[in-house]
Amino acid sequence: MLLFLQSLLNGILLGGIYAAYSAGFSLIFGVMGVINIFHGEMVMLGAFITYWIFTLFHVDPFLTIPFSIIALFVFGYLVQRFVINRVVEAPPMISYILTFGIHLIIAYTALWVWTADFRTVTTSYSGFNANVGGIIIPYARLATFGLALVVVAGLYVLLYKSEVGRAIQATAQDKEVARLMGVNIRRIYAITFGIGAAITGIAGSLISTYFIIFPQMGLPYTIIAFCVVVLGGMGYIPGALWGGLILGVVQSLTATYLNSGISGAFTFILLFVMLIVRPSGIVGKGIVE
């Protein structure tokens, strides 16, 4: 029983990690319809920002988060403003190719600059955990889970309670009407991408404390983010949390009770079944076109 609860908890926390780095993917898809292939590279950039600030200046990884937010927001804003905006209204295939190209550019530039070394942020408290009735709770993962909740809640508030949020929503719902109402669509797109990149950067910062980071780590993160967002509902922000939790729990329980190889297969079986049976996501609020 204890093993089951421990595995379940591990799955929930893993789900939190998945949700934390998938929320930005969902936001960007929801507003612009862009499936961002270089999403994983933004996780990598966030992780490397934390790694370098920690290594060079001995700043605690959690205190490096503001730097990741600012750097990734600026990066996301500029990439959207000057590159993706040029093709955002073209057929989706063009944006796939473009974002795939950017994925290669970032990954290989990072490889050139930082080499292929595997790195990790090891602090004096790395790997620390709480023992509650025999159940181990790793603090760093708990923090990431908490952060995933805050990010989803924050995005919800931003989208529904602020003027920028309403403009983003209006743009997502009908960009032509929004444009007629005076919304600067291209600016809204750039801000949205910036926000998506910033929250992904936060996840990257936290991940660097318990996962191994290296320049070419990005693609698996993009694939997981895609699965999470399909499970939760494309473009439906709280769906990232649902999708992350489902995926995390299923993977954890299968790895514990069956086999870790099967846990990977389950991910794609789930994705496959969901696309056929419920393409709008587990709570049915995703975009289906």
Partner 1 sequence: MKKIFLTCMVLGIALALTSGITSAQQKFRIGYAVPLTGTFGRDGSLVRDAYAYWAELVNSKGGIEVKGKKYPVELSFIDDKSIAAENAKLTEKLITDDKVDLILGGFGSDSVFAGSAVAEKYKYPMICGSASSNKLFERGFKYYFSTIGKATEEVRGCVEISQMLSPKPKTGVIIGSDILFTALAAEGYKKYAAQNGIEILHFELFPITLQDYNSMLLKVKQMNPDVLFVGSHLMVAMKTMKALKEIDFTPKMVTFSYGPTVPDFVKSLGKDAEYVVAASEWAPNLPYKDPLFGTARQFNDDYFKKYGRYPDYVEAASAAGAYAMQIAIEKLGITPPVKEADRVRLMEELYKQNLTTFYGVVKFGPDGANEAHPPVAVQIQNGKLRNVFPRDAAEATPWYPMKPWKER
Interacting residues toward partner 1 by CB under 8 A: 3, 6-7, 10-11, 14, 108, 111, 115-120, 122, 126-127, 129, 131, 136, 138, 140-141, 210-212, 214, 216, 220, 224, 251-253, 255-257, 259-261, 263-264
Least spacing, CB of residue 136 vs partner 1, in Å: 5
Report the distance separating Cα 78 and Cα 126, nearest Å. 34
Tell me whether residue 117 or residue 163 sits nearer to partner 1 (CB atom). 117
Q: What is the three-class DSSP state of 138?
A: strand
Least spacing, CB of residue 262 vs partner 1, in Å: 10
Report the distance separating Cα 125 and Cα 237, nearest Å. 32
Least spacing, CB of residue 259 vs partner 1, in Å: 6
Least spacing, CB of residue 128 vs partner 1, in Å: 8
Least spacing, CB of residue 254 vs partner 1, in Å: 8
Tell me whether residue 22 or residue 252 sits nearer to partner 1 (CB atom). 252
Tell me whether residue 85 or residue 123 sits nearer to partner 1 (CB atom). 123
Report the distance separating Cα 38 and Cα 186, nearest Å. 20
In 3-state terms the chain splits into helix, strand, coil percentages (rounded to 5) of: 75, 5, 20
Report the distance separating Cα 234 and Cα 94, nearest Å. 19
Beta-sheet strands, E only, within 17-150:
129-132, 135-138
Look up residue 203 and give its two tokens.
């996840």
Tell me whether residue 173 or residue 260 sits nearer to partner 1 (CB atom). 260
Least spacing, CB of residue 18 vs partner 1, in Å: 9
How many C-beta atoms surround the C-beta of residue 153 within 10 A? Answer: 13
Q: What is the three-class DSSP state of 116?
A: coil
Tell me whether residue 146 or residue 264 sits nearer to partner 1 (CB atom). 264
Tell me whether residue 78 or residue 223 sits nearer to partner 1 (CB atom). 223
For helices 163-173 and 2-32, what crossing angle results, to 10°? 80
Least spacing, CB of residue 144 vs partner 1, in Å: 12
Look up residue 42 and give its two tokens.
């933004």
Position 255: which residue type? A
Tell me whether residue 57 or residue 124 sits nearer to partner 1 (CB atom). 124
Report the distance separating Cα 213 and Cα 144, nearest Å. 16
